[in-house]
Structure 1
Amino acid sequence: MDEAAPVWITRARPGALATADRVAALGLTPLVDPLLTVEALDVEIDLSHATALAFTSANGVEAFARLSNERGLPVFAVGRATAKAAQSEGFATVSSADGDVEDLCALIAAGAAGPVLWAGAREPAGDLVGMLRSCGVMAKGVAVYETRERAPSVETLARLDAPLTVLLYSPRAAKVLAGILGRRRAPGLRALCLSEAVAAPLSGLKELGSVAFAPRPDESALLALLTA
């Protein structure tokens, strides 16, 4: 790895800023220029039959918390970052699957006592509600935010001509990057992805230097690749 290469952080704010702090703590130079933005939706939350909540992202937690004062229901979170976000918002009982949507489904199926409400993106990467129903768990979903694609700055695009590491957190962000690389080559670009699913849109692309993904869908595992 080129230690001098900056690290392009593509996740949406405000999470990108926390990641930038962690990257800087590793002695590397963070470059915050998200490929996605998050917009909260103004919707009503119906908790009349819910006995637990499920979240597949910190964005879902934060958007739900703006719409509802409910903090007493137990929470099932996909991973540590999402669990931490729920705890920060005041949820007292939080369980983390420490994995992906399939792991979260298994956790809920083993521990939920009744109907589960999932709050998340308008266009989620995985169908948690459908998976839960197929396991016999009563579940419904509500979209509390949406993500929109965002073009990187001219300054960031200019850096594609030099060594650069990019961190990718979602398949959608990877698709945006793939579209950019379809218009220009970036042989010095090293793409590090949160999971194999995130890396999939970059599979087979010859316009970048290399692609790798974390052994587990956790930011600490992803950032460990920076110094591997």
Structure 2
Amino acid sequence: MHSGAPVWITRAQPGATATAERVAALGFSPIVDPLLAVQAIPVTIDLAGVAALAFTSVNGVKGFVRCCVRRDLPVFTVGAATAKAAQDAGFSQIRSADGDVEALERLVAEARPGPVLWAGAEAPAGDLVAGLRARGLEARGVAVYATVERSPSIATLALLDAPLTVLIHSPRAARVLARVLSNRTHADLRLLCLSRAVAAPLAEVGEPRFVTFAPRPDESALLELLGA
């Protein structure tokens, strides 16, 4: 992929802007046009009996912080970006799984901190709470944000007629993209996904396209694919 080539960033804000900055720093031309948008859910968070918090996204951290002032509980996060968001929010006891939801589940299960509260999306891609309960831990969840789908702009759709690389960060964004591409044939499209699970909804999209996923589920690994 040559320097200056366009890269469509499909993830929701505010993460899309941060990704665009990293893409630009690598010499490519970012196109920010999210397929998902985040909407805050106002909720009262009850921490009675809670021994630890778990977050599977940066938006989960932001949503919790918006609804609750406490920062004294230990925190378990899915990866480095979520851990940094928790640190920036004022939490000091943070452990990161540096992986996916299953890795976070294992980390919490090994630590067995006591009752866990997960804060995240209204319709999460993975069910951390169910996984923890299956391991014998007390856990409950609270939705602090909702993710809604949005359509790409006409200008972005026009880019599909030329060589284009697309970054996909979540299974839901991949499902939206699959629908967008369902009636299009374009062999020069490169679809770079954060993980195998993210790539799965794109497997049945017609026309031979280059679809691959990062060797580990973090954005640095995803961006390394740009130079491949």
Distance 1:59 1:23 in 2: 21
Distance 1:153 1:11 in 2: 14
> Who is 1:188 aligned against?
188
Alpha-carbon distance, 1:209 to partner:
2.2
Normalization by structure 1: what TM-score? 0.98
Q: Which runs of 5+ in 2 are unaligned?
A: none
Identity of aligned residues (%): 64
Q: Which runs of 5+ in 1 are unaligned?
A: none
Distance 2:58 2:3 in 1: 30
Deviation track 1:202-221 (CA, whole Å, cap 9, x = no partner) reads 01322362100000100000
> Who is 1:213 aligned against?
213
Alpha-carbon distance, 1:4 to partner:
4.2
Distance 1:113 1:128 in 2: 15
Distance 1:185 1:3 in 2: 25
Normalization by structure 2: what TM-score? 0.98
Q: Is the 8 A contact 1:199 1:213 kept in 2?
A: yes
Q: Secondary structure at the residue paired with 2:34? A: coil
Q: In the alignment, residue 5 of structure 2 is paired with which amino acid?
A: A
Aligned residues: 228
Alpha-carbon distance, 1:194 to partner:
0.3
Query: 1:48-59 maps to which residues of 2 (within 5 A)?
Result: 48-59=48-59
**Root-mean-square deviation (CA), in Å?**
1.0
Distance 1:130 1:26 in 2: 39
> Who is 1:225 aligned against?
225
> Who is 1:6 aligned against?
6
Q: Is the 8 A contact 1:78 1:97 kept in 2?
A: yes
> Who is 2:109 aligned against?
109
> Who is 2:100 aligned against?
100
> Who is 1:42 aligned against?
42
Is 1:67 aligned to residue 67 of structure 2?
Answer: yes
Distance 1:58 1:140 in 2: 19
Distance 1:161 1:208 in 2: 15
Deviation track 1:84-130 (CA, whole Å, cap 9, x = no partner) reads 11111111111100001110001001113210000000001011000
Q: Secondary structure at the residue paired with 2:209? A: strand
Deviation track 1:167-216 (CA, whole Å, cap 9, x = no partner) reads 00000000000001112223221000000000000013223621000001
Q: In the alignment, residue 24 of structure 1 is paired with which amino acid?
A: A
